[in-house]
Amino acid sequence: MRVNFTVNGRPQEADDVWEGESLLYVLRERMGLPGSKNACEQGECGSCTVRLDGVPVCSCLVAAGQVEGREVVTVEGLADYAAQRSCGTGACGTSLDEAKDRKAKPLDSQTGEGTQLAPIQQAFIDAGAVQCGFCTPGLLVAADEMLEHNPNPTDADIREALSGNLCRCTGYEKIMDAVRLAAARQGEAV
Amino acid sequence: MDFLRPASWEEALAAKAEHPTAVPIAGGTDVMVEINFDHRRPEYLLDLNRIGDLYEWEVGADSVRLGASVPYTRIMEHLRAELPGLSLASHTVASPQIRNRGGVGGNLGTASPAGDAHPALLAAGAEVEAESVRGTRLIPIDEFYTGVKRNALAPDELIRAVHIKKADGPQQYSKVGTRNAMVIAVCAFGLALHPDTRTVRTGIGSAAPTPVRAKAAEEFLNAALDEGGFWDNGRIITPSVAKQFADLCAAACNPIDDVRGTASYRRHAVGIMARRTLTWTWESYRGTAAHTEGVA
Amino acid sequence: MPVKGTPIGTPAKVTQRSKTKGGIGESTLRPDGTLKVTGEFAYSSDMWHEDMLWGQILRSTVAHAEIVSIDTVEALKTPGVYAVMTYDDLPTDVKNYGLEIQDTPVLAHGKVRHHGEPVAIVAADHPETARRAAAKIKVEYRELPVITDESSATAPDAILVHENRDDHHIGHVPHPNIVHRQPIVRGDVESARERADFIVEGEYTFGMQDQAFLGPESGLAVPAEDGGVDLYIATQWLHSDLRQIAPVLGLPEDKVRMTLSGVGGAFGGREDLSMQIHACLLALRTGKPVKIVYNRFESFFGHVHRHPAKLHYEHGATKDGKLTHLKARIVLDGGAYASASPAVVGNASSLGAGPYAVDNVDIEAIALYTNNPPCGAMRGFGAVQACFAYEAQMDKLADKVGMDRVAFRQLNAMEQGTVMPTGQVVDSPAPVAELLRRVKAMPMPPEQQWLAAGEAADVRQLPGGLSNTTHGEGVVRGVGYAVGIKNVGFSEGFDDYSTAKVRLEVVGGEPVAVVHTAMAEVGQGGVTVHAQIARTELGVTQVTINPADTQVGSAGSTSASRQTYVTGGAVKNSCELVREKVLEMGRRKFGTYHPAWATAELLLEGGKVVTDAGEVLADLVDVLEGEAVEIEAEWRHRPTEAFDLRTGQGFGHVQYTFAAHRAVVEVDTELGLVKVIELACAQDVGKALNPLSVIGQIQGGTTQGLGIAVMEEIIVDPKTAKVRNPSFTDYLIPTILDTPTIPVDVLELADEHAPYGLRGIGEAPTLSSTPAVLAAVRNATGLELNRTPVRPEHLTGM
């Protein structure tokens, strides 16, 4: 079957989709967007979290055909999504802090250097919340959505909001640090 | 495999009538796991996502008509006052991502004894609105579960909504899992006080081939509360009554040993949950609930 | 907030080669961080190629059976199927592989020995086509009785799991269903037992843990025009894979070109091959690129697990609390194939006494061949199981003697100079007592935090969490301590080396160092550290880390807490050689201009040659003049030796590493549910090359130890040897709501034998975390709890 939907603001079409394919498979194997991860394919790990019409869902559990005509945001589109959101609240352009952050970037991030990042993405790097990184895309989408609704989360709020995202490397402490950091920076920027 | 995409409820009913083996898919949280792991290859998938009606709810005088696909997240956010037991149950469902997609219709359709909504529906009192091209009927929740992962739906029927009695008293829900989040129930327990009728109702999950009520326990407690004048005098329930109630709830179980837990543990845990939820709801009814209510 | 470690004690003896920013000791950030947060980092399952096919493995549905017949006719007829292969289609006489013993069939031959063993492989144009075709392959099995434990394995009439063993262990094992046996005998246990005032015995059971890395086994094999194959893969050791793959394919090693793809965690589970050979076979057969990606279900069958174990321990002590002796027997279940079992036996036995000084020791460790899932490497590697048992013993013995449990451990703690049960003298700091002191000194987390938020109980802070099982009823707090010892690097005489190629050149007027190794970056941060070492040693700011592949010599495995030590050591060594060469070039060009070229100690700093007094002698740009200096060199740590097969004596381990934990738990004693409130850790890391990464490793390792304490276990049916919970629905790993705060106190006592004085760090925290949690749960419940994981039914007696 054929499926049409919007991904990260761009209309996409997939042809010859097998009816049992998940949104995750279509994103990864048909649309060249492998950022959403295939860790469990049973909704238990959150690595494939995307926003479907704004709502965080496990893309492994959405049948491709169910996405017809809908809007999907993946980790690949998270920076743009966050930028548009801050524009929407009147905080366009580059703040002084953001400019400073960019200057302070590690010397060896030559790979991907200069990439515009969402605040939560930068916070994950800065706090050491990334090890193998396989859980990272899903956590970023989930954490970004939480901060959108709850800009000043308690630790228990963060843990609850991220309880659907498994990480096997970090023991979650640096992930907590990263979300606290992003919330604090978000607070400073407003 | 064919993917059917009805744009309206009528189209969905027609499709189900034409293809009774079609598997409805809404949140996908059960069906897609089975497809991803190659456990199931239905001839037809019947997508219900485009039927907006299923995502709506109406609060009536006595009950809430809850669309089959209303996500658990919305139940937690919007129906906490009307459906406190189901709202608490919703909060225990899997993860935020799953709660954003899954709804009560899926729980009922799958009819797994481990479905989180069942004990809350049993305790509150509910009717399942099933419909086919032949017409609509309301199936009382007590008659809905017919066996392990079997329910009272006819092959051509779809679940449109659930009519759940609005809470007229405190309700509680408790679930044991071996993890502090994102866990399938080892066993679960729902309890609702119904001061209007001076009755209590219960629901037990994952401790019998189907979700069940502990009817002997309900009858015992109804009689004990009545005899002691508890509904009027608001006294603390005596420990011996609570214990007897808990023992009868445990006795209502007919559990198995599996990888998630032993039968004897399930019986034991249902008893503990019964005693605790009785305390919480009763303290709430008495108006002294500050330290026992719990928030999440 | 975590307590940040204040490094005190003996400062690491390090000659700082350079003050260049971003060198060792700083918390520089990951070079792959940006790619990983944007979703652009290419993991092995993200590989894609025009016209690629999908590979699918058909696995055995039974654990132990003769294969009567395999019929692939229907599968081959399926439209979209390009190849179906079985044992008969293997191209050469090499049909087995294995890390140490080549006992694992590429595809089953005549027999399957465990549930989920690969029997046939399929390549098709879509994963669903491949799955449907695989399902059409008819395999007829004649089932055999299953060997599942020591008694069935060593029964007089036991079926042999492997009929014709000719490996190097068969000569010294008591039964062919025992892979390897290692005794460690020192002193005289019998007479020491006479002197003991107190003796405690215990029988302990350790469940089967899964690495549960999040990135499933996957990769892409692309056939090449020269008849070879290019393989993009997630692994822990490229060259070890290569040595096993090439002979099966019948190709010389230089025609199997391997490139490391992004690795979604490893923890030991990628030491053995999974889909590597299968993808290459299908690619070479079809002439098309073939991608294989396991799903989570298959992943549970696709890699080895941590050995489950039965451990019997007897300890004695005098009335003043000194250990008299230790007698232990450790039985590890290796499952159907050897994998790393022999080395796991070596670790379990040689580290079986723990970090304690005890003169009279008699330990025996064995690994069985059974029809259970194969077991091999996982973080902690044999030392984990032993630590669970000896730490339980320490608590019991302390109680019997009537001493404080921590003080008892400190009294018996080993230190530098202690003689191990293997006869090896511990020749670098062993701050066991100090680690315990530090972890005990940390402030305790506040009581009843579930009431902190307001009037009503916050269930997220309680056992049961969101499931709303308690609002404080039945909840009892407990505190427990544990400490462990782990070896670093490959032991027992293994030639453990790494190779690093380092190049220094000037690009666009700036000196740049390029580091190329075959080290598998699996998330641990080796790439971060390599860049730091190059900056420190070569005094440049720009460092490029080349992708890991087999175009450079072996870096050994990302295992055994060894990569920063050994490949880090190799990078340091190659940098030093490059620096020597650069300075030599400088001397030749500019030596006559300044006497310091001949007399002073020269450094590279900030892109310049400087004297140790800070005087600038030349710019690197002028020294190099467009030339590049490149060195590829191997580097070895000091050699170890094999353990004597009868006595276990020998200088077996190059380095030891220590961590201690204090666990604070709250247990719902009525429901048997546990919430770990805090897991404080103190660890000696020798020298923290990257403090942020060090703490991340300690917290991650601690959490894996927590998992096996309270929830993680692969459950194998004892009657059928079939796995009952191969999914993330029923194999549970800790969520963020199960994981406590993990304050870390980092101690830096240099090991003068190691580069920069560093100590391998990745595994030690996984050891002591589990027994600390169990001790805390025992403390809360008063139960004996001799098995891990502890489940609600164990805590409630149900």
The DSSP annotation for C82-121 comes to EEEE-GGG-SSS--EE-SSS--EESS--SEE-STT-EEEE
Query: Are A99 and A159 contained in the same domain?
Result: yes
Per-residue pLDDT reduced to its tens digit, C644-655: 999 999 999 999
Total structural domains in chain A? Answer: 2
Identify which of A49, A61, A160 has the shortest CB distance to residue B28. A61
- Residue A25: give its domain's CATH number: 3.10.20.30
Residues forming a β-bridge with C160: none
Q: Are C541 and C573 in contact (CB under 8 A)?
A: no
Give the angle C250-C253-C256 at the CA atoms, nearest 5°: 80
Look-up of token digits 């605040």: A119
- Cα–Cα distance for residue pair B29/B99, rounded to 1 Å: 9
Containing C332, the helix (H) or strand (E) segment is strand C323-333
CA distance to partner chain B, nearest, from residue C261 (Å): 24
Domain end among A14, A49, A73: A73
Binary contact (C456, B176; C-beta < 8 A):
no
Mean predicted confidence (pLDDT) in C280-303: 98
Euclidean distance between CA atoms C363 and C347, whole angstroms: 12
Q: Tell me the mean pLDDT in the region B98-126.
A: 98
Sheet holding C229-233, edge to edge: C81-85, C118-124, C53-59, C290-293, C218-223, C229-233, C256-260
Between CA C603 and CA C613 the distance in angstroms is 10
B2-165 folds as: 3.30.465
b/e for C84-122, b at 16 or more Cβ within 10 A?
bbbbeebeeeebbbbbbbbbbbbbbeebbbbbbbbbbbb
Q: Which two tokens stand for residue C358?
A: 């005890």
Task: Give per-residue burial for C221-256: e unless 16+ CB within 10 Å, then b.
Answer: bbbeeeebbbbbbbbbbbbbbbebbbbbbebeeeeb
The span from the CA of C693 to the CA of C686, in Å, is: 14
- Tens digit of pLDDT for each residue in C350-388? 999 999 999 999 999 999 999 999 999 999 999 999 999
C735 vs B contacts (CB less than 8 Å): 179-182
3-state helix, strand, coil in chain C (%, to 5): 30, 25, 45
Residue A187: the pLDDT is 86
Together in a domain, A67 and A92: no
Calculate mean pLDDT across residues C323-352: 98
Show the domains of chain C with their CATH numbers.
Answer: 33-41+497-636 (3.30.365.10), 45-144+216-263+270-302 (3.90.1170.50), 424-489+653-796 (3.30.365.10)
Encoded amino acid at B111, one letter? A
d(CA C400, CA C282): 62
| Burial (0-12, 13-18, 19+ Cβ within 10 Å), C611 | middle
* Confidence at A188, pLDDT banded by 50, 70, 90: confident
Listed residues A73, A96, A126: the one ending a domain:
A73
d(CA C410, CA C420): 17
Whether chain C has a CB inside 8 Å of the CB on B38: the answer is yes
Mean pLDDT across the stretch C543-549?
Answer: 97
Give the H or E element holding residue C746.
strand C744-747
Instruction: Give yes or no: residues A58 and A124 share one domain.
Output: no
What number of residues does chain C have? 798
Residues A121 and A43 occupy one common structural domain = no
Please give the pLDDT value at position C452.
81
Say if CB A69 and CB A4 are below 8 A apart. yes
CA distances from B242 to B202, B272, B276, B284 (A): 14, 10, 9, 15
pLDDT tens-digit readout, B31-86: 999 999 999 999 999 999 999 999 999 999 999 999 999 999 999 999 999 999 99
User: pLDDT band for position A111 (50/70/90)?
Assistant: low
Interatomic CA distance for residues C500 and C529, integer angstroms: 13
Per-residue confidence band for A114, with pLDDT thresholds at 50, 70 and 90: confident
Tokens of C87: 């044992």
Which among C36, C263, C296 has CB closest to A42? C296
Site of tokens 């499931």: C467
> Are residues B47 and A49, on separate chains, in Cβ contact within 8 Å?
no
Interface chains of chain C (3 or more CB pairs under 8 Å)? A, B
Domain co-membership, A93 together with A139: yes
Domain range for A93: 78-189
pLDDT at C14 over 50: no
Apex C262 CA angle, C54 and A3, nearest 5:
50
Tell me the residues of chain C between 241 and 270 that have a Cβ less than 8 Å away from chain B. none
- Identify whether C789 is preceded by a cis peptide bond (ω within 30 of 0): yes
Residue B228 sits at the vertex; the CA angle it makes with B224 and B230, to the nearest 5 degrees, is 95
What is the rounded average pLDDT for all residues in chain C?
96
- Tell me what pLDDT residue B294 has: 52
A64, A103: one domain: no
pLDDT tens-digit map of C117-154: 999 999 999 999 999 999 999 999 999 999 999 999 99
Min Cα distance B98 → chain A (Å) is 7
Does A123 lie in the same domain as A40? no
Please tell me if residue A46 touches chain B, with a CB cutoff of 8 Å. yes
* Residue A148 near chain B (CB below 8 Å): no
What mean pLDDT is reported for chain B? 96
Mean pLDDT to the nearest integer, A79-92: 81
Q: Domain spanning B171-286: which CATH class is it, in words?
A: alpha beta
Q: Which residues in chain A are contacts of C453 at CB distance < 8 A?
A: 154, 156
Contact B29 A20 (CB under 8 A): no
Q: What is the ipTM of this complex?
A: 0.96
3-state SS track over C157-191: CCCCCCCCCCCCCCCCCCCCCEEEEEEEEECCHHH
B209 vs B215: CA distance, rounded Å? 16
Same domain, A11 and A82: no
| In chain B, domain spans | 2-165, 171-286
**pLDDT at res. A190:** 61
Is A4 an 8 Å CB contact of chain B? no
- Say which residue, A98 or A116, is predicted with more confidence: A116
Q: What average pLDDT score do residues C325-338 get?
A: 98
Q: Are residues A122 and A85 in the same domain?
A: yes
Q: How many CB pairs under 8 A join B and C?
A: 129
Q: Is C724 on the interface with B (CB under 8 A)?
A: yes
Find the CB nearest A43 among B1, B2, B98. B98
* Mean pLDDT to the nearest integer, C29-40: 97
pLDDT at A91: 57
- Nearest by CB to C2, from A41, A117, A173: name it: A173
Closest CA to C355 of C287, C284, C410, C295: C410
Position B234 pLDDT exceeds 60: yes
Q: How many CB atoms lie within 10 A of CB C623?
A: 25
Q: Which residues contact B9 (CB under 8 A, 6 or more apart)?
A: B51, B53, B54, B131, B160
Indicate if A59 and A85 belong to the same structural domain.
no
Residue contact C474–B296, C-beta within 8 A = no
* Least CB–CB distance from B98: residue in A22, A142, A164: A164
Residue C643 in tokens: 């353990």
* Cβ contact, residue pair A20, B181, below 8 Å: no
**Residues A87, A167 within the same domain:** yes
Distances (CA, A) of C63 to A68, C99, C269: 44, 22, 21
User: Cβ of A43 and B5 within 8 Å?
Assistant: no
- Tokens representing C507? 């690009």
Name the average pLDDT for chain A. Answer: 90
> Which CATH number is A113's domain given?
1.10.150.120
C127 touching B, CB under 8 A? no
pLDDT digits (tens, 9 = 90+) for A61-77: 999 999 999 999 999 99
Nearest to B211 by CA among B136, B104, B131, B138: B104
Minimum CA–CA partner of B4 in chain A: A65
- Fill in the amino acid letter for B227: E
B-interface mutation test, from A58, A71, A141, most B Cβ less than 10 A away:
A58
* Residue in chain C lying closest to A139 (CA): C37
Instruction: Using an 8 Å CB-CB cutoff, list chain B residues near C457.
Output: 291-295
Closest by Cβ to C34, choosing from A42, A109, A160: A109
